[in-house]
Amino acid sequence: DTLWDLAIAEVEKRENHDDDDDVKPGEVWEKSILFMGNKNGGKTTIILRCLEREESPKPTLALEYTFGRRARRHNTPKDVAHFWELGGGTSLVELIRIPITTHNIRSFAIALVLDLSKPNELWTTMERLLQVTRSHVNKILTKLEKTNPEVAAEIKQRMWNHLQQDHPDYALVDPFPIPLVIIGSKYDIFHEFDSEMRKIISKTLRFVSHYYGASLVFTSKSEALLLKARALINHLAFGYDKSKSVSVDPSKPLFIPAGLDSMSQIGPPPASDSDLGKMRANTPLELWRKVFEKTFPPKNFCDLQDTKDPAQESQYAEYEIDVMRAQKNQVCSQ
């Protein structure tokens, strides 16, 4: 190759370089993370802590964006992490199509924040958000299989990277198509629950996380627990070393990086043999759901919808626009 051929190849490589797992010195690491979960579950607080911003969290309106920059070492370009936050619980889940695209799917991750103080909302919220996200990502992968099969194959292979082929659970799990962290928030309230309730919630979230190939961490406003959540997020956002520590004691905050748990350690669903025999389920995930919802009956999906119109909130008032809107509403009602 001539010098010009090499230069052209290098430029093309930089322009098309989306996978930063092998970032070289001088190149910029660029990742994206979408935070979603229960309304008022603490997503904004976690993001601010990850970015080391001393701000008071405000209610999230629809889909919000911010970013952080970090230098890996002295005199090097700063890496960039894009943080998206979906507000409204499950009511605005279709907005995930905006941040997750074919252009950034290789560098995208999900942080699912579940409010441990509201166990009756936990499974419904988790299921709805993960189902819609997975469906959208699978559509992107189907498109990539036609336009860029190598990238699609790479993403599908990466789903299994956290689990060795000789792992006893290799045939029992169904990894999420992109990296996933499940964060159980408001541990301080959860810790006051009855020990049996805590055990059921903890075991269930351990199973779900392991089944989806996700990391799991419990957190609260406590600085020590926020640092644990921040460690997992920084691994996804800036490529920091992945923690190897594990905490599975149900009397303490859980901390389990992806791939470091097992079905044998988690044990069977927390129900009697007679109850399990009466439950008809097609998959292990469905069985765990039925056991969990026997203790924590789910709230109706409609109850989780955010029916409040954010356009009516005083913080977004704009006189000229509000007057025109009022006039239009009046015309439409006539």
**In this structure, what are the phi and psi dihedrals at residue 69, rounded to the nearest 5 degrees?**
-130, 135
pLDDT of residue 73: 65
pLDDT of residue 8: 60
**In this structure, what are the phi and psi dihedrals at residue 129, rounded to the nearest 5 degrees?**
-65, -40
pLDDT of residue 301: 55
pLDDT of residue 121: 94
pTM of the model: 0.81
Pairing of strands 255-256, 108-115: unpaired
Cα–Cα distance list, 15 to 1, 3, 27, 72 (Å): 20, 19, 11, 21
> Do 287 and 269 meet the contact criterion of CB atoms below 8 Å apart?
yes
- Of residues 270, 262, 256, the one with CA closest to residue 203: 270
Q: Return d(Cα 121, Cα 67) in angstroms, integer.
A: 29
Those residues of the chain that have pLDDT short of 70 are: 1-28, 57, 72-76, 300-316, 331-334
The structural domains of the chain, ordered by start, are 25-330 (3.40.50.300)
Instruction: Return the SS3 of 329.
Output: helix
Report the share of the chain in percent with pLDDT over 90: 43
- Angle at 276 (CA atoms; ends 272, 277), nearest 5 degrees: 115
For 187-210, b/e burial (b = at least 16 CB within 10 A) is: beebeeeeeeebebbbbbbbbbbb
pLDDT of residue 234: 87
Torsion sign over Cα 65, 71, 76, 79: negative
Q: How many beta carbons lie within 10 A of that of residue 218, not counting itself? A: 26
